[in-house]
Amino acid sequence: MQPITATVLIPTYKRARYLQQTLEAFTHLNSPPDTFEVLIVDNNSPDHTREVVAAFAEAHSAFHIRYVFEGRQGVSYARNRGITEAQGEIICLLDDDSPPEPEWLNALLSAFDDPTVGCVGGPAELDYQGQVRPPWLEGDLQGMLSGFSLPYSTVTPVSAWEQLPYSCNMAVRRRLFAELGAFRPDLDRAGNQALAAGDTEMGKRILEAGWQVLYNPEAKVRHIVAPERLKFDYLYHIGRGLAASHVILTGDPRPHQVLRWLASDLWYATRMLARLVLAVVRRKRLWLDDYIVFWTVARRIPYRLHKIFNGSMRA
């Protein structure tokens, strides 16, 4: 038996149906099943998650499948528990609703042949599972649903925080978690808290420590879009979280930086408002897209003022 070189870490919470699809995708990977393990961290799911994992492990004994329970609610707690349990030197983070494409694991791991690389990510293509995509769902709104893609056709280093990998498709050297610390639970989703900054903040730490972060367009996953995520209330909820997350990630306490980001928020919100008004006047079919983006950007302003005067942030 070959040594395990990678751990595929999947935190999950009451999405047994989608987890099953994600696990089934591993049977199509072009990677030897005895060279990696799949570690599922159940974050206190009330559904039949444990049974789904057990059934897959029994049906596919060639794979190293492990199930771990983490009772503390929050995706960062689940990821951090998985990191402590992982056996592989490379930890490949995957969401429970993100089935990988056949070359996914090979594409991620090959980048680590370069010893200066600390983190690698790839695209996440939205999978509507036969649903009709609303005509207004374009551009930035796809990012709200965890769709991710960069305009690079080859492996490319990234450094802008907007281009850092999403945790639905992100691989990190395990040693970096020991050196730099684990994911911060206060920056990610837990219960009704909609923050989504843990992966970007981790990417920033890796860059600041002198490691390369790469984007590999061949490391592809599909990100399943559940029906409830196409509703306006979900997008508004995520928009609040993204606004608060942006404030946290740009939360340099120096006065000139605080004023700089506040001015940037005001300018961007004004620009988006003008774009929205123009879209409505011209009766563009994407005016709703513009409205949600404007609303998300505008929410940064009260969040930033709240953080300036109170020093805390929730969404």
Summarised one tens digit per residue, pLDDT across range 87-120 is 999 999 999 999 999 999 999 999 999 999 999 9
Could you tell me which of 120, 226, 228 has the C-alpha nearest to residue 173? 120
Q: Indicate the pLDDT class of residue 1, thresholds 50, 70 and 90.
A: low
pLDDT at 205 over 90: yes
In the predicted model, what is the mean pLDDT of residues 5-18? 96
Q: What is the pLDDT of residue 39?
A: 98
pLDDT of the residue at 207: 97
Q: Label residues 165-201 b or e (16+ Cβ within 10 Å = b).
A: bbbbbbbbbeebbeeeebbbbbbbbbeebbbbbbbbb
pLDDT: which is higher, 166 or 140: 166
DSSP 8-state class, residue 209:
T
219: three-class secondary structure by DSSP: coil
Q: Show the DSSP H helices in 159-299 as ranges.
A: 174-180, 198-208, 232-249, 255-281, 287-298
- pLDDT in the model for residue 303: 77
Band (2; pLDDT cuts 50, 70, 90): low
Element (H, E) at 78: helix 75-85
Question: Which of the pair, 252 or 241, is modelled with greater confidence?
Answer: 241
Closest CA to 11 of 99, 79, 58: 79
| Residue 216, pLDDT score | 98
Query: φ and ψ at 148, to 5 degrees?
Result: -150, 130
Task: Tell me: pLDDT of 16 over 90.
Answer: yes
- For the ranges 102-116, 230-244, 251-265, the one whose mean pLDDT is highest: 102-116
Percent of the chain with pLDDT over 90: 59
In this prediction, residues 269-291 reach a mean pLDDT of: 75
At 191, is the pLDDT very low, low, confident or very high (cuts 50, 70, 90)? Answer: low
- For the entire predicted model, the pTM comes to 0.87
What three-state secondary structure class fits 188?
Answer: coil
Contacts of 67 (CB under 8 A, 6+ apart): 40, 42, 50, 53, 54, 57
